[in-house]
């Protein structure tokens, strides 16, 4: 196959953009149609030709979207967005807003200023309201972690993030009902959620053999199991420090030794005087 022949009708000329006066190399079949150095400048010029600018702003404040405004005033959505930005009105997409404002030169856009990281003190250029130089530093901030936990637990208690009961949870739930023990399922306490709560101070957790590393089965642990064990210790310490007794039942016991689980459950409830 031969090479594609060059188009000899294509013209080139050094021109100045009619919007920003930036010099650029125009390449077009008809240089009369080449007026802008970029698409953004074309949208800026298109926006400045809209006569009823006040009406556009008024309708946007009333909830009209860019698409609807573009059809009403027979302009592109980018031109409508550019008009709003030139009028000092923020649009939803912050990155597009930053790009347009740099090009248009409207308003006092925030300059890049080095800011120290809240955790490690390393200077960095923050994006929007960021206080951390990295995700690692963000998750090392205990205040931030507690805030995220509170939000997650709030959504959990409001039922916005429903949790499906596991098979062993359903079995223990049925056993408690069979014994006539009043309980609360998925009990949120502090920053943690426990499987069951029995008055006055008994918390019950059912642990899967693999995920929580049953020592009778697993001798060498992987990273997931180690992390889950650390998490289990935190939950136990949190409950013990506040006067609660945390009891754990293994998946293998619930599935293979239900009588032993029932006996231990009655002992725990009797000791705590929770059996009504």
Q: In this predicted model, what pLDDT tens digit does every residue of 163-184 receive, in sequence order? A: 668 899 999 999 999 999 999 9
Predicted pLDDT at 230: 94
Backbone angles phi, psi at 130, to 5 degrees: -70, 140
Number of domains comprising the chain: 3
Distance between CA atoms of residues 158 and 29, nearest Å: 63
- Is residue 180, in this structure, part of any structural domain at all? yes
Expressed as residue numbers, the domain containing 184 is 162-271
Q: Could you tell me if 146 and 167 lie in one domain?
A: no
- Average pLDDT over the chain, rounded to an integer: 80
- Is residue 6, in this structure, part of any structural domain at all? no
Q: Could you tell me if 173 and 260 lie in one domain?
A: yes
Per the CB < 8 A criterion, the answer to whether 66 and 77 are in contact is yes
- Is residue 92, in this structure, part of any structural domain at all? yes
Distance between CA atoms of residues 30 and 156, nearest Å: 63
In this prediction the pTM is 0.51
Q: Could you tell me if 129 and 214 lie in one domain?
A: no
Give me the residue label for tokens 């690692």: 136
Distance between CA atoms of residues 240 and 196, nearest Å: 16
Q: Could you tell me if 49 and 133 lie in one domain?
A: no
Q: Could you tell me if 39 and 78 lie in one domain?
A: yes
- SS3 letters across 139-154: CCCHHHHHHHHHHHHH
- Is residue 62, in this structure, part of any structural domain at all? yes
- Is residue 69, in this structure, part of any structural domain at all? yes
- Is residue 276, in this structure, part of any structural domain at all? no
Please report, for the domain that includes residue 264, its CATH number: 3.40.960.10
Q: Could you tell me if 23 and 79 lie in one domain?
A: yes
Per the CB < 8 A criterion, the answer to whether 225 and 142 are in contact is no
Q: Could you tell me if 147 and 232 lie in one domain?
A: no
Q: Could you tell me if 147 and 179 lie in one domain?
A: no
**Alpha helices (H) along the chain:** 39-48, 53-61, 66-73, 77-86, 94-104, 135-138, 142-157, 167-179, 223-240, 251-256, 258-271
Q: Could you tell me if 141 and 67 lie in one domain?
A: no
Give me the residue label for tokens 């400048």: 41
- Is residue 3, in this structure, part of any structural domain at all? no
Per the CB < 8 A criterion, the answer to whether 85 and 100 are in contact is yes
Query: pLDDT (tens digit, 9 = 90+) per residue, 184-195?
Result: 988 888 878 899
């Amino acid at each position: 196959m031969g090479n594609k022949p060059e188009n000899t009708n294509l013209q080139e000329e050094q021109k100045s953009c009619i919007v920003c006066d930036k010099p650029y190399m125009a390449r077009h079949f008809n240089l009369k149609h080449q007026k802008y150095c970029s698409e953004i400048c074309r949208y800026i010029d298109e926006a400045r030709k809209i006569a009823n600018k006040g009406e556009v702003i008024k309708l946007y404040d009333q909830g009209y979207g860019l698409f609807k405004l573009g059809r009403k005033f027979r302009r592109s959505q980018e031109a409508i967005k550019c008009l709003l930005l030139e009028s000092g009105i923020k649009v939803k997409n912050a990155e597009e807003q930053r790009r347009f404002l740099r090009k248009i030169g409207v308003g006092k856009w925030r300059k890049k200023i080095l800011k120290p990281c809240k955790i490690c003190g390393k200077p960095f250029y923050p994006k929007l309201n960021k206080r951390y130089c990295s995700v690692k530093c963000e998750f090392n901030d205990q205040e931030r972690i507690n805030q995220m936990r509170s939000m997650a637990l709030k959504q959990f208690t409001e039922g916005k993030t429903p949790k499906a009961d596991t098979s062993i949870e359903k079995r223990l739930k049925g056993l408690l009902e069979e014994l006539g023990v009043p309980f609360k399922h998925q009990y949120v306490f502090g920053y943690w959620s426990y499987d069951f709560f029995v008055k006055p101070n008994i918390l019950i957790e059912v642990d899967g053999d693999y995920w929580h590393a049953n020592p009778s089965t697993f001798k060498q642990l992987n990273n997931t199991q180690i992390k889950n064990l650390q998490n289990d210790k935190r939950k136990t310490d949190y409950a013990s420090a506040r006067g609660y007794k945390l009891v754990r039942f293994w998946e293998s016991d619930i599935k293979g030794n239900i009588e032993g689980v029932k006996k231990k459950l009655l002992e725990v409830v009797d000791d705590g005087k929770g059996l009504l």
